[in-house]
Structure 1
Amino acid sequence: MDIVKLLEKSMSMDESSWQRHSNPWSVYSRFTLLPLLSLAFWSRDWIGVYSIIPILMSFLWVWVNPRLFNAPKTTNNWASMATFGERIYLNRNVETIPEHHVKPILVLKSLTGIGLPIFIYGLWALDLGLVLVGNLWIMVFKAWFVDRMVWLYLDMKSTKTEYDQWLKL
């Protein structure tokens, strides 16, 4: 099975979760994930096998975060529109997305992925410099990807009434 599909399925996002995730607090606080994972995995040097606790808590944060905040009163902002674009992108096998988004999204996902081995090796070797470079690399390209999701939403919102209704002024 495709790892991305498996991760999407494990999140089990329903309509309520998506509405709550469109809260800017949810979107911006997700950028804490990589630093939290870094600390959790690094903690093996301090607390040994008990580092499994902060590691599991970090992964729990991934699942809890989109459900933690209330649905926002207004979604006319960058963060909310990013989640709308993500929803559209995740549904790309059912409804095609404009061709001018496909290649840039793949490039951004690939560039994000380049930082992963640096990040993982840095954690394995307990090399703070590599962990920081990996964090920065991944977060910069992930933020750029998220920005592309806003663009995708803005291009697609008029194609379906459902998409347009996600935007609350």
Structure 2
Amino acid sequence: MTLERRIAAAFCMDAAAWARHTNPWSGWTRVPALPLLALAIWSRAWLGWWALVPMAVLLAWLWVNPRLFPPPRDETAWMTRGVLGERLWLARDETPVPAHHRRAPNILSAIGATGVLLAIGGLAMRAGWIVIAGVAVAMLAKLWFIDRMVWLHQDMTKEGE
């Protein structure tokens, strides 16, 4: 089982949740989660322990979000195809992905993780520019990752032929 599939399992992502998560509203409303989480953590400077409230709300949102929206009417939206491609990527140990799709997602995930670590360091040091840089790197890597998943979905489903 891939690491990504284990993470999805930890979020209790069953087939119904994945079907709902392919709704573009689900994907796009998750995009601001990282900057908002960084802001919630940063707010400990003026909210103290009350900063745990927005953190908890955001974490709850990340769990509820894939279950909140109905499945999309079609699969034409970029975000929908990205999530469908992500499912294919998660199952790559059972259904191999084409060779030209094997490297970039891992590199982009590593870049994204580096951005998250940079943001965590910035939050620990209360260095705003480091937090902003880390969040920007992580978000750009994630969006590029989704774009690669659209391409993966297109190649594996022979979309457009």
Q: TM-score, normalised by structure 2?
A: 0.91
Amino acid at match of 2:134: G
Amino acid at match of 2:29: S
Q: CA deviation at 1:29?
A: 1.1
- Does the C-alpha gap of structure 1 residues 18 and 2 become closer, same or farther in structure 2, counting only changes over 3 Å? closer
Separation in 2, partners of 1:152, 1:2: 17
Separation in 1, partners of 2:11, 2:136: 25
> Unaligned stretches of 5+ in structure 2?
none
Residue of structure 2 equivalent to 1:10: 10
Question: What is the identity percentage for the equivalent residue pairs of Structure 1 and Structure 2?
Answer: 38
Where 2:31 maps in the other structure, the secondary structure is: helix
Q: Is the helix fraction higher in 1 or 2?
A: 1
- Does the C-alpha gap of structure 1 residues 22 and 2 become closer, same or farther in structure 2, counting only changes over 3 Å? closer
For the aligned residue pairs, the C-alpha RMSD in angstroms reads 1.8
Q: CA deviation at 1:10?
A: 1.3
Q: Which moved more, 1:30-39 or 1:1-10?
A: 1-10
Residue of structure 1 equivalent to 2:136: 136
> Unaligned stretches of 5+ in structure 1?
159-163, 165-169
Amino acid at match of 2:23: N
Q: CA deviation at 1:7?
A: 2.1
Separation in 1, partners of 2:125, 2:36: 17
Partner deviation per Cα, 1:102-150 (whole Å, 9 max, x = no partner): 1111111111122122100111122211111111111111100000000
Where 2:72 maps in the other structure, the secondary structure is: coil
Amino acid at match of 2:82: A
Separation in 2, partners of 1:81, 1:140: 18
Amino acid at match of 1:112: G
Separation in 1, partners of 2:99, 2:2: 22
Q: 2:2, 2:91 within 8 Å by CA — same for their partners in 1? A: no
Amino acid at match of 1:116: V
Q: CA deviation at 1:4?
A: 4.2
Separation in 1, partners of 2:67, 2:86: 16
Residue of structure 2 equivalent to 1:70: 70
Partner deviation per Cα, 1:34-79 (whole Å, 9 max, x = no partner): 1111121112112212222221221111111111111111221211
Separation in 1, partners of 2:89, 2:80: 14
1:12-161 matches, within 5 Å, as: 12-158=12-158
Amino acid at match of 2:97: I
Q: CA deviation at 1:5?
A: 4.7
Separation in 1, partners of 2:105, 2:45: 37
